[in-house]
Amino acid sequence: MEQLFLLVSCIQILLVVFIQWQVYIKKNIITFAVSSFILSLFLLQSGISNGENTLIFIALLTFFIRTIFIPRYMIVKLTKEHWRAREVAPVMGTASAIICSIIIVIISYITYTLTLYNYLHVKIGALPIAIILQGLFLIISKRNTFVQLIGYLIMENGVLFFGAILFPGLPLIFEAGIILDLLGIVMITGLINRLRENYVPDTLEEIEDLKG
């Protein structure tokens, strides 16, 4: 189980690195969908092996909302020519962003070992925290609204991962509430972005500069 948890955490971290590496927004959205799909599979497996119905329900909710609905909605709302949409001017260079991303993982590991580890006694608990911080870093390292939104969603994935594994007794209403909040944020952001695209006479670059 520990190896599986480690594998899923590392895949999640690598997928965030892949998002940092990619320029095209559509690929980033698809990568996020893959990341959510892996998370839902892990939650399902964990729920089945532990006999926790709540985890199975959350896994299904994650699959339908984060793997299918949100990515699909984002691609539809992206632009009329979604295959062309890309991050034009990120705040920092790709290589630097990738290196910073992994430094964040190391810092979160050290911080976790010195603090929360003393209470939880699970070494790999550092990795979901690293995923949360990586999502946060994605928000500040990119200018495109949709990538920033993906950063927010990745943070939320990290929180869910952390909560579901280390605190499996969390009430279902708490998790479901977060997912509904998420849905609202994504829909509102998508609408605002589409309105901006329709009413502001602009070029693609100007849309890209929209601060989230």
Q: How far is the CB of 81 from other proteins (least distance, A)?
A: 21
Q: How far is the CB of 60 from other proteins (least distance, A)?
A: 27
Q: Which residues of 7-46 are buried (b: 16+ CB within 10 A; e: fewer)?
A: ebbeebbebbbebbebeebbebbebbbbbbbbbbebbbbb
Q: How far is 58 from 53, CA to CA, in rounded Å? A: 9
Which C-beta is closer to other proteins: that of 23 or that of 188? 23
Sites of contact with other proteins (CB under 8 A): 2-3, 6-7, 10, 13-14, 17, 21, 94-95, 98-99, 101-102, 105-106, 109, 113, 123-124, 126-127
| Ordered alpha helix ranges (H), 142-171 | 145-166
Q: How far is the CB of 63 from other proteins (least distance, A)?
A: 24
Q: Which amino acid is at 180?
A: L
Q: How far is the CB of 18 from other proteins (least distance, A)?
A: 8
Which C-beta is closer to other proteins: that of 10 or that of 179? 10
In a 13 Å sphere around the CA of 114, the CA atoms on its Cβ side amount to 6
CB 191 within 8 A of CB 42: no
Which C-beta is closer to other proteins: that of 6 or that of 200? 6
Which C-beta is closer to other proteins: that of 101 or that of 145? 101
Q: How far is the CB of 99 from other proteins (least distance, A)?
A: 6
The first and second tokens of residue 26, run together, are 């559509």
The first and second tokens of residue 20, run together, are 């940092």
CB 109 within 8 A of CB 6: no
